[in-house]
Amino acid sequence: MGVTALVSRRLAAWAARRPHVLLAAAAGATAERLAVEAEVARTGGVLAATPADADLLVVAGQPGPELAEAVERVWRQLPGPRARALVAQPAEAAPALRAALRALTGPAGAARDDGHSGGPAQDRGGGGHQGHGGMRTPGGLMMAERAEDRDGLTLDVLHVPLGPVLPDWPAGLVVDLTLQGDLVQSAVPRLLPPAAPVAEPYWTAGGGPDRPRRQAAAQLDSLGRLWAVAGWSSGAAAARRLRDDLLAGAPLAALHAPFRLLRRRARRSRALRWATDGLGVLTAEAARAAGVSGPAGRAAADGGDATARWLRWLDEIGRLLGGGTPPEGEGPRGRWVPGRPPSRALLDVAAPLMVGLDVAAARLVLASFDPDPDELAAAVPAGTPG
């Protein structure tokens, strides 16, 4: 077994040079998430899309009970060798990731976690293993029930949640989808609250001279998420690099050239327009009625679809990088009405617009509004229903 152990250790060390990191962020942990993303990029890692693809599970922020349970479930789905890290403060990102990487390769004298050996997680709440008529169902799960769909067909009703542990997705947000034949029949959003209420959303914190910079970075963050969901990973990576440079305090003049290049690539990309044209159209009247302000509200004037929204983000980032200031009293998602953050309005209009689309398009619609869970979590103690 000596040879096997050696080969296994060599393989683990080789794989750990490019760790695949699954990031589970709690609401209100934007600073921690950004620190982890930057650290993963710095160490040559990649963000994994699913637990099957991941070596490391990194939890950013302080998850509440339901999110912690979801994280445990995802952890059970990670194949070995695996390691996990908790990043509760932005400064902990680098040491926590280093420690997790060491655990991944199995340091001298310490056992490596090669994962569990078989058996799906038994946490289905006592569903039992007996199906209808005493027939055993695999894994104790029932077949889907049937119901009429909007076209008058009797189809299976599937309940598929989006979030909370999902890449390029607002942290801690869950949208419970009801699917019939690939089409979303209903979408109900809810937020998994963090362990402690969010004092101040990251993107609107720290006013003063840094405000335009922070706001542009917030919109670059949104763009990165939308483009990653749309499948334009190089554009998403460029937007995130610009975001990190902005937050690190790089001089604005140095960012003009890469931003203009990115904007030109985005505007000229026909594939990107095909992906987002005509999706989630929010008319100007509907935006006014729902109290949507900010870029999404202004985009309603020129078409109101997902394309109009990302074009508007690009315009506003360009203006902010050119030395402009954001409108007074307005955050990256819009204006705060007491007890009702702008992200609440965004989520309220986004969820109904997801209905009637297929899952991929529904994800694009939500990403094009990009409600900020920090604002939603901060609003909960102020008396707004979560």
24 binds other proteins per the rule CB under 8 A: yes
By CB under 8 A, name the one of 163, 193, 326, 341 that touches other proteins.
163
Mapped onto helix, strand or coil, the DSSP state of residue 114 is: coil
Q: Return the residues of window 126-145 that contact other proteins according to CB under 8 A.
A: 137-139, 141-145
Q: Which of 28/342 has CB closer to other proteins?
A: 28
Q: Are 375 and 182 in contact (CB under 8 A)?
A: no
- The piece of 226-234, 315-323, 344-352, 355-363 that touches other proteins (CB under 8 A) is 355-363
One character per residue 291-330, x = contact with other proteins (rule: CB under 8 A): ----------------------------------------
Count of residues interacting with other proteins (CB under 8 A)? 59
6 binds other proteins per the rule CB under 8 A: no
- The piece of 45-53, 263-271, 316-324, 373-381 that touches other proteins (CB under 8 A) is 45-53
The residue type at 123: D
Q: Which of 65/356 has CB closer to other proteins?
A: 356
Beta partners for residue 20, in sequence order: 46
Q: Are 21 and 40 in contact (CB under 8 A)?
A: yes
One character per residue 241-280, x = contact with other proteins (rule: CB under 8 A): ----------------------------------------
7 binds other proteins per the rule CB under 8 A: yes
* Structure letter (DSSP) for residue 28: T
Q: Which of 52/301 has CB closer to other proteins?
A: 52
By CB under 8 A, name the one of 161, 206, 258, 381 that touches other proteins.
161
One character per residue 181-200, x = contact with other proteins (rule: CB under 8 A): xxx-----------------
CA distance 8 to 175: 41
Query: b/e for 100-110, b at 16 or more Cβ within 10 A?
Result: bbebbbbeeee
Question: Which two tokens mark 16?
Answer: 């750990």
By CB under 8 A, name the one of 31, 38, 174, 351 that touches other proteins.
174
What lies within 8 Å, CB to CB, of 183 at 6+ separation is: 149, 150, 356, 357, 358
CA distance 222 to 242: 12
- Least distance from C-beta 145 to other proteins, angstroms? 8
- Least distance from C-beta 54 to other proteins, angstroms? 10
Judged on CB neighbours under 10 Å (0-12, 13-18, 19+), 53 is middle
- Least distance from C-beta 339 to other proteins, angstroms? 29
Q: Which of 303, 307, 326 is nearest to 316 (CA)?
A: 326
The residue type at 110: A
71 binds other proteins per the rule CB under 8 A: yes
47 binds other proteins per the rule CB under 8 A: no
Beta partners for residue 106, in sequence order: none
By CB under 8 A, name the one of 43, 80, 327, 340 that touches other proteins.
80
- Least distance from C-beta 377 to other proteins, angstroms? 18
Question: Which two tokens mark 43?
Answer: 């160490």
What is the total residue count of the chain?
Answer: 386
29 binds other proteins per the rule CB under 8 A: no
74 binds other proteins per the rule CB under 8 A: yes
Q: Return the residues of window 107-126 that contact other proteins according to CB under 8 A.
A: 114-121, 123-125
DSSP string, 307-369: HHHHHHHHHHHHHHHTT--PPTTEETTEEPBTTB-HHHHHHHHHHHHHTTSBHHHHHHHHHHH
73 binds other proteins per the rule CB under 8 A: yes
331 binds other proteins per the rule CB under 8 A: no
Question: Cα dist. 364→11, 27, 90, 94, 169 in Å?
Answer: 38, 20, 29, 32, 10
Beta partners for residue 340, in sequence order: 337
Interface residues with other proteins (CB under 8 A)? 3-4, 7-8, 24, 50-52, 67, 70-71, 73-74, 76-77, 79-80, 114-121, 123-125, 137-139, 141-146, 153, 155-156, 158-166, 169, 174, 180-183, 356-358, 361
